[in-house]
Structure 1
Amino acid sequence: MIDQYLLRYFLAVAETGSFSRAARQVSVTQPTLSTGIAKLERELGARLFDRDRQGVSLTPAGSRFLVRARRIAAEYAQALVEIAEAEAPQVLRLGVLATVPAAIIARALEHLRERGEANVPEIVSGNERELAERLERGRLDVALTLVRGHHARFAPKVLARERYAMVLPADHPLAGAEEVMPEQLARDRMALRRHCEALPEINRFFTQRGVRPRFVLKTTSDEQVLAVVRAGAGIGMMPESFAGPGLAMVAVRDFDLNREIGLLHADASKAEALRTDPFIAALRRVYGAGGER
Structure 2
Amino acid sequence: MSDRQLTEIAAGFTYTEGPRWREGRLWFVDFYTHSVNVVNADGSVERVCTVDHQPSGLGWLPDGRMLVVSMKDRKILRRETDGSLVEHADISAHCRGYANDMVVAANGQAYVGEFGFDLMGGADHEHGVVVLVDTDGTSRVAADGLSFPNGMCISPDGKTLYVNELFGNRISRFDIASDGTLGHREDFASFEDLGDEPNVEKRLAACTIAPDGQALDAEGAIWIADCVNQRAVRLGEGGVVLDEVSTAPLGVFAVALGGDDGRTLFLSVAPDFDESRRSAAREAKVLATTIDVPHAGRP
TM-score greater than 0.5 by the shorter chain? no
TM-score, structure 2 length as denominator? 0.22
* Higher RCO (CA < 8 A, seq sep 6+): 1
More strand as a share of residues: 2
TM-score, structure 1 length as denominator? 0.22
Computing the radius of gyration from Cα coordinates, the structure with the larger value is 1
